[in-house]
Chains A and B, each alone.
Chain A
Amino acid sequence: AQSVTQPDIHITVSEGASLELRCNYSYGATPYLFWYVQSPGQGLQLLLKYFSGDTLVQGIKGFEAEFKRSQSSFNLRKPSVHWSDAAEYFCAVGAPDTNAGKSTFGDGTTLTVKP
């Protein structure tokens, strides 16, 4: 079965600084990979997804992520963080050869942005 680990429970960055959130996955084949953002008390919004092809994926709100098969990682990056980016971020993996559509989520990383 697939699994996701987000090693950082909480990250604090200053506004304008760069951001990298880590995600490691476990899956026997090529996975589908996703990043979602969740504001307090709200549902999740998809930031970006990787299915195949170019390993650098561009998403909404200026985010990007890079798939590294050798490291089983899919880290999320943003060059300059805005105060509105403060939220919880979830990495998720899909297993296309088992259950189409089901995603397994990590436990999230809470991002705090300092002024």
Chain B
Amino acid sequence: EAEVAQSPRYKITEKSQAVAFWCDPISGHATLYWYRQILGQGPELLVQFQDESVVDDSQLPKDRFSAERLKGVDSTLKIQPAELGDSAMYLCASSLDGDYGYTFGSGTRLTVV
């Protein structure tokens, strides 16, 4: 069964350092989402891509977060500088064409110390 690949699975970083997460969606999926899930809460959309274009980044803290999907395939989410409040699970999901048929990856658990 096709999967969404994410790496790393776990990341511990110090406050003010830079950190990056990688996501490889299911082959052929045009829509890619990055969600952030704080412990005890549901996932919150950070950014949505359609191919290489950003569709929605209204909840992305743009002063410190950036996301790219240069060739419309895999994607990178970056935080610089990391803050204590960024500790969370970062989930990537993809769908065929924005059709809500999400497949989620296993996520990256970020701890900022």
Contact = CB atoms under 8 A, between A and B. Distances in A.
Interface string A19-35: 00000000000001010
Given A41-B109, A43-B91, A103 B41 contact: no
Interface string B75-109: 00000000000000001010100111111111101
Nearest to B91: A43
Interface string B22-54: 000000000101000000111111001000000
Contacts of B20: none
Which label, helix, strand, loop or mixed, suits the secondary structure of the A interface? strand
Interface residues of B, number: 26
B55 interface: yes
Contacts of A108: 40-42
A107 B42 contact: yes
Nearest to A34: B100
Q: Which of A4, A34, A44 has the most CB atoms of chain B within a 10 A radius of its CB?
A: A44
The size bracket of the interface on A is 20 to 34
B43 A90 contact: yes
Nearest to A108: B42
Interface of B: 4, 31, 33, 40-45, 48, 55-56, 91, 93, 95, 98-107, 109
18 contacts: A36-B104, A42-B107, A43-B4, A43-B107, A44-B104, A46-B101, A46-B102, A90-B42, A90-B43, A100-B99, A101-B31, A101-B55, A101-B98, A103-B45, A103-B100, A105-B44, A107-B42, A108-B41
Given A32-B100, A42-B107, A107-B40, 19 more contacts: A34-B100, A43-B4, A43-B91, A43-B104, A44-B43, A46-B101, A46-B103, A49-B101, A51-B100, A90-B42, A92-B42, A99-B55, A99-B56, A101-B95, A101-B99, A103-B100, A105-B43, A106-B42, A108-B41
